Structure formats: structure tokens, C-alpha cells
Structure 1
């Protein structure tokens, strides 16, 4: 059991988990049904030498998870929208996926979420928004907030990441720094850095469409339960997904031209 210190700094990261705080060089997070599986995954990543994820330290006196704090910056910034940063992120996601190989994919306790129908290949992070990628000296080096991690395919996690980073979204819903970027070129750069295969590139738009539809359904059902999901839904999450689908339909040929 790890002692609880008094000085707590609230952390504003992802949209789903409330009550995340920093205490010294640690992060304290509420537990969930997925915590045992996530801790097992993080310990596996440590054992295989993947340095881009928090380490599990234990539990504190309030029953919260205690993880190591990864110093750096998160969010959409000038450093994070550069093409070279996007390429590094593609490589980092590939390193993470490869590090999960050998970890059991049938472990109980994973948080449910959207997925495609093909058999899982890796444990995906499944929530690599800008708030969950840590930069240091302008380079993305760390992944945080594994609460939505679960077995999936490489391509599904690639698409989920590109949803935020290309971004696959209507311009009205993009951060101002990403409003006028060359999305097709950024998708290609990310896929090149990751090593997405020619077959997977031909499937990418189709998988993106599946991801949007199923994410919409999952978010709508969770919003009915209240909490963070309800706030996200009330804030227009469903409408943003619908606009992203419409944007994808209009720009499908352009994306294929960059990928195939």
C-alpha cells in the first residue's frame, strides 16, 4: 500500500475518467473494472522494456491506483501538429503494439468498446487523443490513460489514432492548428511510419467508417448511464461523429489516392 500525500494536482487529460491527480512523481487514478487487466498490461510492457507507458506502483490509502508520472506536455500544440511529430507517433504506436505481442488477448476485465469484426491481433490503446500522448523536447515519447485499452486489430487502433491526429474530422470540429492541414498526406505519413501494409491501406477507409458507426452506438448507450459519457454526449460528441462520417464520404477518393 502506497501512502497518500496531501498535495494533489488535478490532471486534465482524457474525457472519460474523473478524479485523476498528480502527487509528486506519481499519478493517482480511480479504479475500474478494467484496472486488473490494465495493470497486468502495464507490468508486461515494463517487463519487455517498453519505456513509453507508466509503471504500476500500487494502490494508495484511498483505494486509488498509483502509477508513475510521465513528465512532459500533452494536447494540441505547435510541436504536436508537425509532420515529423506525427511520423514519430506512428512509430511509437507500432513499438507499443509490438510490445503487446505475447500478452494474453483473452484476459477478462477489459473495458468494452467499439471494435471491428476481425480477430484481435494486439492490445490496442484505443484512446490516443492528443491528451493521452506525452511530448518531451517536441517528440512524442509516452502513452497514458490505458483505461480503454482492449484487444483489437492493429488497423482499428491506427484508425482510432488517426481520428484525432490526421484528423479524420469535419474542419469545423478540428483544433484551429489542424483546421487546414493536408489530411490525406498526414494519413500517409503516419501509415508509412507505422508500417501499415498495402492490404491494410486498402481497408483503412472502410475500417474508419465501421469505427465511427460503432463508436456512435457505444457512446450513445453509455451516455444513458450518466457521468462523463453523458457530458460528452450532451456536448455534441454524437454530432461530431456524424459530421466525421459525412466528411469521410466526401473525401474517400482523396484518401485512397494518398494510401493506395
Structure 2
């Protein structure tokens, strides 16, 4: 029998977790404190028939978690920055939220982070950056899967939507946006996403208020984590705090026009 040598291919793009590699048709990731909770969630999603997340395959001899590799593209491109892609992401997020129904909403075992004041309704991904959404290789305007659930936790639908729109509308000062999104009509993209998700009118009225609350709390959480060093410290040193402050100021200036689009 001829042994097959599987090479490790580093996977780049994440801000928080180092050491993520592809080995054949699998992904190997360092285990963390939230890994048991994340694995339980991924198994729940598999049982619920949700096909937009990796499957858990166990651990390798180095103690790394083994997940299925999901082929496709990540990041912002012309296609993934389109209105079609944004609406597709809203529908994908809605399916994910619905699929978490019945999963325990206790806060035990999760990484934690900023959150809504209202009681949890679902498990939120809470980190849907462009690097954590997989688009079809042959249909790059269609998102089909979510990855990197390290920051997932019990929350409200609206909080996870706000977190997603922070990156995808985006709710950010133009100076901090990706070039493809620098001149977009943010209000129109907020409305498009909420329509495609099917967000209730009462939640739309609260969306910008919650976005401001999230900015405030995320700033505090990130500053605290940065003090402990590691990748959080690198993110903070790269200007994460200043970007949050600029986003808050931009929202203050444009809140009325954004609210008018939403409601």
C-alpha cells in the first residue's frame, strides 16, 4: 500500500485564530474554550438539515478540530459586493437563525462578547465578515455557507443582523470601507437586507439604536481583550478602536436618513 502524504495549506483571512490549515478535504483548527459549544451547534445544524456550515469530523493527533472543507470564494469582489449577493446573504442568515431553533440558549461555553439587552432568541454567528462567508466558485454572487463560529453565542436576531450589516452595508465611515463599498447607498442596502431577511417593522425601528449600542460595547470588549495580548492586541494596534469611533460618529450624522429608508 502506498501512503498518501497530505500537505497542510495555511488558510488566511481570519483576525482572531491563527494556525488554521487545509488538509485534503478537511480544515484543521486549534481548539479553544468555545470548541465544545461550537461543535454541539454544528452537529445541531447538521441534524436540522442546514447545509450552510461545516460538518464536525472530530480531532486530529495534534488536538486540532477537524471540519469539512467548504470550497468557494471569500472576501469582497465585484460579485460579492452586489445587491444580489447582499440579499442572498440575508436569506442565508435567516435560514441559519431558523435552524438554530431548539438549541439551548444558555451562555455557558461560548467565547462571549458584546450583546443585546433583550433575552436571546437564537444562536448568532456574530462575526460575518466577508472572510467568513463562502460564495459559490461558479456563481460568485451567491453565498452558500458560513464559517468560523468561534464568536457565535446566544443573542437576538437583530443583534446578529446589526453585526452583519456593520461589515456588509456597511455601517462605517467611508474612509474605513473596502473600496468596492466606499460609495454605496448604505440606506438602500440596509433596506434590501432587511427585506430579504424578512425583518419585522418593530425590529427595523430599533436597528440603528442597537447598532450604536453595539459600537459602544464592542469598543469596550475589544479594548479589554487587547490588554491581554495576542491577535486582539494586534487588531487594536491596527486601529480597530478608532474605526469603531469613526463608525459611531458617521452613524450619528446619517441616522435620520438611514432610519427613513428602514421604516
Q: Verify same fold: TM over 0.5.
A: yes
Give the conservation status (yes or no) of the 8 Å contact 2:120–2:154. Answer: yes
What is the CA-CA distance between 1:108 and the residue it aligns to?
2.1
Give the conservation status (yes or no) of the 8 Å contact 1:7–1:23. Answer: yes
Distance across 2 between alignment mates of 1:5 and 1:34: 31
Structure 2 gap segments, 5+ residues each? none
Aligned to 2:35: 35
Distance across 1 between alignment mates of 2:51 and 2:186: 29
What is the CA-CA distance between 1:5 and the residue it aligns to?
6.0
Distance across 1 between alignment mates of 2:11 and 2:5: 16
Structure 1 gap segments, 5+ residues each? none
Q: What are the superposed Cα offsets for residues 172-213 of structure 1, whole Å, 9 maximum, x if unpaired? A: 000000000010000000000001100000000000001101
Q: Are 1:200 and 2:216 an aligned pair?
A: no
Aligned to 2:7: 7
Cα distance, 1:5–1:120 mapped onto 2, change above 3 Å: farther
Distance across 1 between alignment mates of 2:9 and 2:191: 38
Aligned to 2:18: 18
RMSD (Å), alpha carbons: 1.0
Aligned to 1:71: 71
Aligned to 1:50: 50
What is the CA-CA distance between 1:79 and the residue it aligns to?
1.0
Q: What are the superposed Cα offsets for residues 29-66 of structure 1, whole Å, 9 maximum, x if unpaired? A: 00000000000000000000000000000100100000
Q: Are 1:133 and 2:133 an aligned pair?
A: yes
Tell me which moved more, 101-110 or 4-13.
Answer: 4-13
Distance across 2 between alignment mates of 1:191 and 1:247: 21
Aligned to 1:212: 215
* SS of residue paired to 1:141: strand
Give the conservation status (yes or no) of the 8 Å contact 2:107–2:154. Answer: no
Distance across 2 between alignment mates of 1:75 and 1:204: 25
Q: Are 1:241 and 2:244 an aligned pair?
A: yes
Question: What is the TM-score with the length of structure 1 in the denominator?
Answer: 0.97
Distance across 2 between alignment mates of 1:143 and 1:239: 28
Distance across 2 between alignment mates of 1:61 and 1:76: 35
Question: What is the TM-score with the length of structure 2 in the denominator?
Answer: 0.96
Give the conservation status (yes or no) of the 8 Å contact 2:107–2:153. Answer: no
Aligned to 1:175: 178
Distance across 1 between alignment mates of 2:173 and 2:259: 18
Q: What are the superposed Cα offsets for residues 229-255 of structure 1, whole Å, 9 maximum, x if unpaired? A: 000000000000000000000010011
